[in-house]
Amino acid sequence: MKYINSLAPSSLLRSVSNAGSEITRRVWTPSPPPQRPFRVCDHKHSMRKGLTAGTLRELVAKAMDALLISGIVSLVLEEDGTAVETEEFFEMLEDNTALMFLEKGQKWSPNKGAGRSYALSGDKPRNSRDIARITFDLYKLNPRDLFGSLNVSATFYGLYSMSCDFKCLGPKKVLREVLRVLSTFMHGIGHIFLSASNYIRRLLEGPENWYQPARLSMYKE
């Protein structure tokens, strides 16, 4: 009886309807947007990170974790402070766009020359496709830093990206590292001179004094 009931028109229609909805859901489910590289910073232009995201919401979530930001934030362009509030405007942004995250009470301010960005890109044909794009970002974490820090980000085929930060140290730390390297170098030079002096002394004494056999003397009462 259960098998006969399962063949009833209502059961068959329900099964066909469920199968059709499942097929429709699988066919019409949109694919996730591609990951694109972006550069984000805080309101002081000091902390910078390279991230990849496909949507505005994903970028905000990743940037809050990377910049250690919590609470309500607003996203603006680092170049001119234009607010980025909609997905449509976010999709119009180019790859490696520099963005600034502002917490409550913070305001956008222009970068006063502490960092300069150099991109290896120029005029290219309209139908060409990028193979690799490398961006160099030079900035300072502290005004007292002797050298600026360098951020290098690379994007391959517009899909895969990677970034690396080279953080330079302040004058005291740089001097400490130089003295440490100099001390190690002088220590090694001292060992070389000591070994050389021993070798020269042995040459001057002659080969007969290199190995002196042990002498046995008879004890007489």
Q: pLDDT, tens digit, for every residue of 149-174?
A: 777 777 776 666 777 776 665 666 66
Predicted pLDDT at 220: 54
Q: Whole-prediction pTM value?
A: 0.40
Q: Which residues of the chain have pLDDT under 50?
A: 1-8, 12-13, 16, 27-28, 114-121
Predicted pLDDT at 221: 54
Predicted pLDDT at 190: 85
Nearest to 138 by CA among 153, 159, 123, 126: 153
Q: Please report which helix (H) or strand (E) contains residue 20, including its range.
A: helix 9-28
Q: Can you tell me the distance from the alpha carbon of 134 to that of 162, in angstroms, rounded to the nearest whole number?
A: 10
Residue 30 corresponds to which tokens in the numbers above? 């949109």
Predicted pLDDT at 25: 54
Q: pLDDT, tens digit, for every residue of 168-204?
A: 656 666 677 778 878 888 888 888 888 888 888 888 8
Predicted pLDDT at 4: 44
Predicted pLDDT at 217: 55
- Burial code (b: 16+ CB inside 10 Å, e: under 16) for 113-123 equals ebbebeeeeee
Predicted pLDDT at 3: 45
CA distance readout (Å), 89 to 79, 86, 110: 16, 5, 21
The number of CA neighbours under 13 Å toward the Cβ of 165 is 14
Predicted pLDDT at 42: 84
Predicted pLDDT at 52: 85
Predicted pLDDT at 110: 81
Predicted pLDDT at 85: 87
Q: Please report which helix (H) or strand (E) contains residue 91, including its range.
A: helix 87-92
